[in-house]
């Protein structure tokens, strides 16, 4: 039974519009191998040197020497030729927007489009499945020139259609870049606000009382979670829970909703609203300077969680979690261990901080939580836009949706 829609045809790259053609990459462009670089103290020109992970460094490159200089032009596509097994760099591509700015090393090839729009070439080749098939997961993948050039792709014959596809995907990329920039800016603003508000350098309107220097052991008691292996987590479980590993990456300073559930309920340790949770062990010390205040009572708390419990009418848990994260250097001084690092209640009892009235604590937390919510909303919008882009690419780059 023929399921090919009218106006489409079956090809080696799948079903594409009849007005499209299948071409080997080599017929559409010029190929240049990157060069090993020498650095020069003479100011012949500063270039961003691009390596296999697109980690760039600005250096003075002797541009007169073909042995160390591989220039790029606007519209060129750079492709990673080598990566470790199951790495994420092989066939990763970069589109050159600025002339005479980049030079690449020997693990990158430069593809200069001749019969195809450069941006469309970028979208077609970036992590193309044809190239990923060379990664066997056992040994380092090294794409050769003939392998790069033999990749088949389906493209519109019309350059107007090529430009239209590239333009709409470029617009989405530009939106994603703006969202990323805005998220970074908002995070920087939050960090600056934390520095000012949590130390009393900036006071909120209506507050003027003196802040007291406190040792955490004077205002809090310390407890420890129990059990709860990863295998006990169940998305359909009857009990909300927090696994210590989630405190490193998944929870912010304030936990308003738990992310995991479990069916384990016998002999567990449960939260009381306003508890501050910290992971007590990690393979690196940096992750231990993390704290989150849980607003729910009765949540199952797993082992390797330090529970800091204070009177909410004296110390707002979210204020303390912000202070702990802001005071990373002090927390790291309390960490013990060599290969695996730990922090315990006996250590955190020594933690010192400036404590305003609980009313001012709550006012500060409200401002910082609002900033967190704004960042989270931007991150959600960015993630949805990324999913939208993936869907658009699937439709536009196969010709299922036509723009002209």
CATH class of 21-155: alpha beta
**In this structure, are residues 68 and 37 in contact, taking their beta carbons and an 8 Å threshold?**
yes
State residue 42's pLDDT score: 39
CATH class of 212-355: alpha beta
Residues 6 or more apart in contact with residue 396 via CB below 8 angstroms? 165, 168, 169, 403
SS3 185: helix
Rounded to the nearest 5 degrees, what angle is found at the Cα of 181, between the Cα atoms of 175 and 182? 90
In angstroms, rounded to a whole number, what is the distance separating the alpha carbons of residues 384 and 77?
Answer: 27
**In this structure, are residues 14 and 140 in contact, taking their beta carbons and an 8 Å threshold?**
no
In angstroms, rounded to a whole number, what is the distance separating the alpha carbons of residues 279 and 290?
Answer: 7
DSSP state of 5: P
State residue 119's pLDDT score: 96
State residue 355's pLDDT score: 97
104 φ/ψ angles, rounded to the nearest 5 degrees: -115, 155
Taking the CA atoms of residue 118, residue 121, residue 122 and residue 128 in that order, the dihedral angle to the nearest 10 degrees is -170
Q: What's the fold here for domain 156-208+359-404?
A: Helix Hairpins (1.10.287)
| Residues facing 30 on adjacent strands | 112
State residue 46's pLDDT score: 54
pTM of the model: 0.83
In angstroms, rounded to a whole number, what is the distance separating the alpha carbons of residues 168 and 82?
Answer: 30
DSSP state of 349: T
DSSP 240-277: EEE-TTHHHHT--SEESS--EEES--TT-EE--TT-EE
Quick one: tokens of 117?
Answer: 């729009």
State residue 404's pLDDT score: 77
**In this structure, are residues 301 and 226 in contact, taking their beta carbons and an 8 Å threshold?**
yes
Cβ-based neighbour number of residue 73 at 10 Å = 14
From first to last of the 404 residues of the chain, give the pLDDT tens digit. Answer: 468 999 999 999 999 999 999 999 999 999 988 765 444 433 444 556 566 555 455 555 444 444 445 667 899 998 988 888 888 888 989 898 887 777 777 788 899 999 999 999 999 999 999 999 999 888 888 999 999 999 999 999 999 999 999 999 999 999 999 999 999 999 999 999 999 999 999 999 999 989 999 999 999 999 999 999 999 999 999 999 999 999 998 999 999 999 999 999 899 999 999 999 999 999 888 889 999 999 999 999 999 999 999 999 999 999 999 999 999 999 999 999 988 999 999 999 999 999 999 999 999 999 999 999 999 999 999 999 999 999 999 999 999 999 87
- First CA to last CA distance, the chain: 30
Rg of the chain over all Cα atoms, to the nearest angstrom: 28
SS3 383: helix
Q: Are 21-155 and 212-355 the same fold in CATH?
A: yes
> Pairing mode, if any, of strands 305-310 and 220-224?
antiparallel
CB crowding 133-167: b at 16 or more within 10 Å, else e: eebeeeeebebeeeebbebebbbbeeeebbbbbbe
Cβ-based neighbour number of residue 339 at 10 Å = 5
Domain residue extents for the chain: 21-155, 156-208+359-404, 212-355
In angstroms, rounded to a whole number, what is the distance separating the alpha carbons of residues 231 and 185?
Answer: 38
Helices marked H in 291-357 — which ranges?
317-326, 328-334, 345-348
State residue 338's pLDDT score: 87
In angstroms, rounded to a whole number, what is the distance separating the alpha carbons of residues 223 and 219?
Answer: 14
Residues 6 or more apart in contact with residue 322 via CB below 8 angstroms? 194, 198, 253, 364, 365, 368
């Amino acid at each position: 039974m023929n399921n090919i829609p009218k106006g489409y045809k079956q090809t080696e790259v799948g079903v594409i519009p009849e007005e499209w053609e299948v071409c080997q990459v080599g017929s559409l462009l010029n190929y240049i191998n990157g060069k090993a670089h020498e650095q020069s103290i003479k100011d012949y020109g500063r270039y961003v040197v691009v390596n296999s992970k697109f980690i760039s460094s600005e250096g003075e490159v002797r541009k007169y020497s073909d042995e160390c200089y591989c220039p790029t032009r606007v519209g060129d596509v750079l492709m990673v030729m080598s990566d470790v097994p199951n790495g994420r760099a092989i066939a990763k591509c970069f589109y050159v927007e600025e002339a005479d700015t980049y030079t690449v090393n020997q693990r990158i090839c430069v593809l200069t489009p001749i019969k195809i729009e450069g941006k469309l070439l970028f979208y077609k080749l970036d992590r193309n499945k044809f190239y990923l098939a060379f990664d066997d997961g056992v040994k380092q993948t090294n794409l050769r020139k003939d392998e790069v050039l033999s990749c088949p792709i389906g493209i519109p014959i019309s350059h107007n259609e090529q430009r239209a596809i590239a333009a709409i995907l470029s617009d989405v990329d530009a939106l994603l870049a703006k969202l990323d920039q805005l998220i970074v800016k908002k995070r920087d603003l939050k960090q600056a606000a934390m520095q000012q508000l949590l130390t009393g350098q900036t006071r909120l309107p209506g507050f003027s009382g003196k802040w007291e220097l406190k040792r955490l052991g004077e205002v809090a008691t310390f407890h420890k979670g129990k059990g709860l292996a990863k295998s006990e987590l169940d998305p359909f479980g009857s009990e909300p829970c927090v696994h210590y590993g989630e405190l490193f990456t998944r929870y912010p300073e304030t936990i308003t909703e738990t992310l995991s559930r479990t069916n384990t309920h016998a002999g567990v340790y449960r939260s009381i609203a306003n508890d501050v949770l910290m992971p007590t062990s990690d393979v690196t010390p940096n992750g231990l300077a993390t704290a989150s205040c849980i607003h729910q009572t009765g949540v199952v708390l797993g082992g390797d969680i330090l529970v800091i419990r204070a009177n909410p009418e004296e110390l707002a848990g979210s204020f303390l979690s912000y202070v702990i994260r802001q005071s990373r250097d002090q927390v790291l001084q309390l960490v013990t261990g060599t290969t695996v690092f730990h922090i315990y209640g006996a250590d955190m009892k020594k933690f010192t901080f400036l404590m305003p009235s609980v009313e001012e604590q709550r006012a500060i937390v409200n401002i910082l939580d609002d900033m967190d919510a704004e960042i989270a909303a931007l991150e959600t919008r960015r993630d949805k836009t990324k999913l939208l882009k993936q869907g658009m690419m699937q439709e536009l780059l196969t010709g299922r949706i036509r723009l002209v």
